[in-house]
């Protein structure tokens, strides 16, 4: 297990000490222990924390919730709440900060460790999804830029193959000026092929662009191509065996 840095925010000295000892036994590095929200905010500006453990009811107030919101807004690191059964009336407020977990007092060291690990894992997965989405958005923008380089200024039609054209604004394809009725996914795939005219669109590229990584497989792409070919008047979608598909430039 990676030695994650932990900030503890707990105003009860005994609980804070027990947390520190338990976490260090599990291999965590407790960088700071604070007993109030303001001190925690100052520490967060100067230390490297991977996760924060916060008592919801700091000094018998809702400072823990306010601190959690501050962490979410400014520091983008995961946090979990310490709570007791008597805290039920403020749990609904705590939920609005979207914590990565709860630990009930008196805490069990094994449950504490499991909650910490799940919080860190969930945070890592969220960041990965955000990065994937950012990469996908950049690729999608790149495809749109490619399409716009293929049309004359003030125009929206891209001619390809023989007697086909794509209207990039209407997202519609025509053969001999007659509209071909395609589904949303078929249109998206054909748009991708036209953007990369003369180049192979791989199965991975097709899955990411058409389905946006929503459970698609290579067979999904093959089925889509089969349906698309049945709707096109001529055989313009070519196989790149085991790699993907292309339309000749």
39-81 pLDDT, tens digit each: 999 999 898 899 999 998 776 667 888 898 889 888 889 999 9
pTM for the full model?
0.55
pLDDT of 176 > 70? The answer is yes
Find the mean pLDDT for residues 207-224: 85
- Band the pLDDT of 130: cuts 50, 70, 90: low
Residue 87 has pLDDT above 80, yes or no: no
Domains and CATH numbers, the chain: 5-131 (3.40.50.2300), 150-246 (1.10.10.10)
Mean pLDDT within 14-35? 92
Percentage of the chain surpassing pLDDT 70? 90
Band of the pLDDT at 85, cuts 50, 70, 90?
low
Q: Is the confidence at residue 133, as pLDDT, over 60? A: no
- The pLDDT tens digits of the residues spanning 158-169 come to 999 989 999 988
Tell me what pLDDT residue 53 has.
Answer: 94
Binning pLDDT at 50, 70 and 90, where does residue 137 land? Answer: low
- Annotate the chain with DSSP letters as a single string: ----EEEEE-S-HHHHHHHHHHHHHTT-EEEEEESSHHHHHHHHTTS--SEEEEETTGGGTTHHHHHHHHHHHHT---EEEEE-GGGHHHHHHHHTT--S-EEESSPPHHHHHHHHHHHHHHHHHHHHHHHHHHHHHHHHHHHHHHHHHTS-TT--EEEETTTEEEETTTTEEEETTEEE---HHHHHHHHHHHHTTTS-EEHHHHIIIIITTSS--HHHHHHHHHHHHHHSSS---EEETTTEEE---
Q: pLDDT by residue (tens digit) across 187-215?
A: 989 989 998 889 898 898 888 888 876 67
Please tell me which of 22-36, 137-151, 202-216 the model is most confident about, judged by mean pLDDT.
Answer: 22-36
Q: For residue 82, is pLDDT > 60?
A: yes
Please, what is the average pLDDT of the chain? Answer: 86
């Amino acid at each position: 297990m990676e030695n994650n840095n932990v900030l503890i925010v707990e105003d009860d000295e005994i609980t804070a000490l027990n947390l520190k000892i338990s976490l260090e036994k599990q291999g965590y590095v407790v960088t700071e222990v604070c007993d109030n929200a303001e001190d925690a905010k100052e520490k967060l500006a100067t230390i490297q924390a991977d996760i924060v453990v916060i008592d919801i009811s700091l000094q018998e107030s809702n400072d823990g919730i306010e601190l959690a919101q501050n962490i979410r807004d400014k520091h983008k690191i995961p946090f979990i709440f310490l709570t007791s059964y008597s805290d039920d009336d403020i749990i609904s407020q705590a939920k609005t900060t979207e914590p990565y977990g709860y630990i009930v007092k008196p805490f069990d060291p094994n449950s504490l460790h499991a909650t910490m690990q799940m919080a860190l894992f969930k945070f890592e997965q969220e960041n990965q999804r955000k990065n994937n989405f950012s990469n996908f958005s950049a690729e999608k923008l790149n495809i749109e830029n490619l399409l716009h380089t293929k049309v004359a200024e003030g125009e929206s039609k891209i001619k390809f193959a023989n007697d086909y054209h794509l209207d990039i604004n209407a997202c519609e394809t025509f053969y001999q000026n007659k509209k071909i009725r395609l589904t949303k996914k078929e249109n998206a795939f054909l748009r991708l092929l036209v953007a990369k005219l003369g180049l192979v669109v791989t199965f991975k590229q097709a899955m990411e662009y058409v389905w946006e990584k929503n459970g698609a497989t290579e067979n999904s792409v093959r089925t889509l191509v089969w349906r698309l070919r049945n709707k096109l008047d001529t055989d313009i979608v070519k196989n790149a065996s085991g790699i993907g598909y292309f339309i000749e430039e």
